[in-house]
Structure 1
C-alpha cells in the first residue's frame, strides 16, 4: 500500500466536503466491490416485491438478518482467512458496520453500530480504495461520534504513513501545560504515571494519580486498571447515567489529568519539579477559597509569593486601580474585607520587596514551605451537611489528608476533631451521602454526611488506608527480616 497516496486520499476527501452535505452510503462502491446478492426463492420472485423487500436485496443497506457471508467480492471463497488477522478483513469489517448503519431505524442498534465504528477507526484504517468511501460516509453523518471517528481515522492513516503503530494520548497538568504520551492496550494507569514522572524528571511517582474529567465529574483512575479499559467503562457508565431527553446515549468528551492525590510523603523543596508543576498549582486554589486557617501575617507573605510567582518583577499591578480584583487573586476570600484594600497592598508590597531577587519558581516553593506548616496542607476539602453529631455545626468543612479525616468549622476554620485512618472502622457511600463509623474505644460513633462528592471521599479514604496498610506490611516485613538476620548471626 502506498502510504503517501493513502494520506492524500484522506486529506483531499475531507477538504472537499461540507459536513452533512448529503448522506453518503456505500451504494456506488458496492457495484464494483460487493458480491452479488443471494438469488431469491421462486415463490418470492413471482410475488410483486414491495419497497421493503427490494431493500432487503441491497447489500449496502441495513438488514435485520445476520450477515452470514462476506460482502466483498475479493473475500469470496476465502473463508479460511477468518481464522487469521489480515488486511482483507479490515475492509470487510468497515463494510459490514457501514452497511448496518445505513437506513437503520433501530435506535439501539444504530448506537451500537457507532460504538463499533469508533473502535474500528481507533484500531486500523481501511484500504485506499475504501478509505474515501468511509471518509465520505462519516463526514455526511450528523451523529456526534462521527467527528471523533474522523479524527481517529486521520491518526491511524498518519501512523501507517510513518510506519508506526504508536498511539499517543494527551495528559494535562495543574500548571496549564500538557504533553502527549504513548499508550497501548496493555498500559496500566500506574505505568503511565511512571512514564510521565520520568518524562517530567520527578523524583518519584508516589502519590500521583491519573484523573479523568468527563461531564461534571472528575474521577481517579485505579492504578492497577488498564488505561483504555477504564476509559471505556467510564464513558459507558456516563452515557447510561445521563441519557438524552429522546432516550439516546449522549456523546461525551473527556480529558486526562495527572495530579498529586496522596500527600503522605510530600515535603516542599524535596522535589522541585513536582513543586512547580503540581503542588503549588494544586494548593493555591484551596488557599484562595478560604479552606485553611490563615493569620493576617501569613496571608500577607503568601500574597507576596503568589504575586511574584505570577508577575515576577513587574509591580505595576500593585500600584494599579483594580486593587479589589487583584486581592481576589492573592488572598483567602474570607480575609479580603478584614482590612482596607490599600492597607493590604501596602503590606503585600513590603513583603514582596523583602524577597527581592527571588525567581517566580522560588516564590512557589516559598509558598509551599509556609503552608506546609499547617495541619491542613495537602488536603482534599469537602463542604458537607452532617445530621448525626449535635456538637458540630450542620454544615461542616471536611479535610481528608495524611492525618486522617478532619472536621472543620467552616466559619472559624478551627479543626473540631481529627479521626485518624486507624480509628475509622468502616464507611459506605451512595449517590448523595457518605457514612462513616469511628472507633472511640467504648463504642463506634457514626457520621453521616450529605454531599454530591461522596465518590471522591470514598476513593480518598480507600486510597489512604490502602497506602497505610502497604506501609505497615512493608515495615513488618523489614522487621521480620532484621530479626531473622540477628538470629542467623547469633547462630554463626
Structure 2
C-alpha cells in the first residue's frame, strides 16, 4: 500500500500530548499538501507564502519539527505525480538546512536520505544540508523569497581583501563564514586549520556604521543585504609568516602597510634610519623604472601620518635615497617581504590596534593606542612608546558598552577583570567601542554560533 495519502490526515502522525499541537499538526499537513499542489491553494496565497508558513511553524514550535519531518517524508514516498513530489523534496531540502530532527528521529531521517541519495538528487542535497545543520547549528533566519525560487540558490559574493584587492566567490543558502574564509585562505596557499583560524571575515555596514567579525558558523545569507560588505583580514599572528605564495605576500603586505601608515605600529619620529629603510622598501615594492631615487612627492606618502609633521623631510629624503642605492636589486615582492620582516620588529606588530581617547585611572598626555591579540590587551603611550597597562583576555569577566560622556562624543567600553579576591574595572573612551567589544568577544570564544 502506498504511503502517499490522497486525503489530509485527521490526527498527527506522532503522538502529541497537547491538543493544540495535534490541531497544528493537522493544519501543517494541509498546508504541505497545498504547497505541493496535492490540494488547491487558499485564495490569496501562493507557494512562497505556504512555504514560509511551514518554516515559520518549525522555527516557533520545536515540538512539531519531528511531526513535520514525518509528514513530508510520507508525502514524497511513492508520490504518483513527479512535479508535486519535487516540491515536497524542495521543502525537505530547506527543512534539513534550518532545523534538525530530534536525536530520536535523526537516525531514521538519515537512513531515509541515504537510501534514496544515489537515485534522488534532492535527497543527496538534503543529506548534505542535514550534516551541515548538525555541524553548524542550523540557520534560524528564514530565507529571502529570491533564495527559495528555483535556480536562485546560488549568489555571487565579493570579499574585499586589504589594499583594494577583491576575491569573488559564490555562496549558497546554507554557506557559513568559515567555508568562505577557508576558500580565501586557499587562494593565499594557507591550508593549516590553525592558521586559517587567525583570519576573520569582517562585516561592514554602510560607511563603517557597523564593523564586526563574523562568527565562523554564521550563515552568510542571514547577514547579507544591500548595505553590507565583507572584508577579510588577519586577526592573529601566532603562526610564523611564510612567503611561499604571491597572493599571501601581497595581502599581508597591504594589510600591514595600511596599519603602518596610519601610525598604528609605533615608529618614533627620531628613528630616521628605520623610517628611511621602510620608505625605500615601499618605493621598491612598486613596479617602476627608477628605484634609485625617491621623488619628494612620494616620500610623504611612505611615512606614517603621525610623524609626517615631526620629521626633517630633507634629512629623511637623503637617508631614503642612500637606502635605495644600498639595497640589492630585488623584485617588488621581495621588497614587500623585506618590509614585512622589518615591520615585524615594531612594538605593536601582530596586534589589532585602536585609538583610545581617554582611559579611566590612567593619566596620559593624549590619545593612546590599544593593541589586541588572542592573549591580551595592552595600552601603549605613543609618545614614550611605553606599555601603560595590560589585561590578559582570560581574566576578562564582562564587557559593557557605555553611552558617550558628552553630547556627540565617542562611546566607551567598560571591562571587568581580575580575580574574585581583587576585581578590577577600567573603561576606555574610543570611537570604535562597539567594534572593539565585538572583536574581544570573538577572540575570547569564536566557537559561539549566533544565526
Task: Sort the TM-score into its range (normalised by shorter chain).
Answer: 0.5 to 0.7
Which of 421, 426, 431 does residue 398 from structure 2 map onto?
A: 426
Partner of residue 119, structure 1: 144
Partner of residue 422, structure 2: 443
Whole-Å separation in 2 of the counterparts to 1:272 and 1:329: 27
- Confirm or deny: 8 A CA contact 2:282 2:302 kept in the other structure: yes
Higher helix share: 1
CA distance 1:327–1:440, change in 2 (3 Å):
farther
Residue 203 (structure 2) pairs with residue 212 (structure 1): yes
Which of 265, 270, 293 does residue 266 from structure 2 map onto?
A: 293
Whole-Å separation in 1 of the counterparts to 2:257 and 2:428: 26
- Confirm or deny: 8 A CA contact 2:286 2:332 kept in the other structure: yes
Q: CA deviation at 1:229?
A: 1.4
CA distance 1:417–1:311, change in 2 (3 Å):
farther
- Confirm or deny: 8 A CA contact 2:205 2:229 kept in the other structure: yes
For structure 2, the 5+ residue unaligned runs are: 1-40, 48-80, 91-142, 404-410
Q: CA deviation at 1:466?
A: 3.0
Partner of residue 177, structure 1: 165
Partner of residue 354, structure 1: 326
Partner of residue 461, structure 1: 440
Whole-Å separation in 2 of the counterparts to 1:172 and 1:292: 23
| TM alignment of 1:40-439, pairs within 5 A | 68-69=43-44, 86=87, 119-124=144-149, 166-204=154-192, 205-215=196-206, 216=208, 217-231=210-224, 235=225, 252-265=226-239, 267-269=240-242, 272-273=245-246, 275-294=248-267, 295-315=271-291, 318=294, 320=295, 323=296, 325-393=297-365, 395-430=367-402, 432-439=411-418
- Confirm or deny: 8 A CA contact 1:167 1:182 kept in the other structure: yes
Secondary structure of the structure 2 residue equivalent to 1:418: strand
Q: CA deviation at 1:399?
A: 1.4
Q: TM-score, normalised by structure 2?
A: 0.60
Whole-Å separation in 2 of the counterparts to 1:274 and 1:402: 25
Q: CA deviation at 1:305?
A: 1.0
- Confirm or deny: 8 A CA contact 1:269 1:369 kept in the other structure: no
CA distance 1:177–1:83, change in 2 (3 Å):
same
- Confirm or deny: 8 A CA contact 2:397 2:417 kept in the other structure: yes
CA distance 1:317–1:256, change in 2 (3 Å):
farther
CA distance 1:71–1:209, change in 2 (3 Å):
closer
- Confirm or deny: 8 A CA contact 1:202 1:273 kept in the other structure: no
Whole-Å separation in 2 of the counterparts to 1:259 and 1:405: 19
Q: CA deviation at 1:374?
A: 2.6
- Confirm or deny: 8 A CA contact 2:416 2:424 kept in the other structure: yes
CA distance 1:70–1:284, change in 2 (3 Å):
closer
CA distance 1:227–1:446, change in 2 (3 Å):
same
Q: TM-score, normalised by structure 1?
A: 0.55
Q: CA deviation at 1:289?
A: 1.8
Deviations 1:146-179 (A, max 9, x none): xxxxxxxxxx6xx8xxxxx643322221142223
- Confirm or deny: 8 A CA contact 2:174 2:219 kept in the other structure: yes
Deviations 1:279-322 (A, max 9, x none): 2111112211222332222211111111111244434872x4xx
Deviations 1:61-120 (A, max 9, x none): xxxxx9725689xxxxxxx99976559x9xxxxxxxxxxxxxxxxxxxxxxxxxxxx933
RMSD, aligned α-carbons: 3.5
Whole-Å separation in 2 of the counterparts to 1:394 and 1:335: 15
Secondary structure of the structure 1 residue equivalent to 2:286: helix
Whole-Å separation in 1 of the counterparts to 2:265 and 2:257: 11
Whole-Å separation in 2 of the counterparts to 1:86 and 1:422: 50
Q: CA deviation at 1:435?
A: 0.8
Whole-Å separation in 1 of the counterparts to 2:413 and 2:274: 34
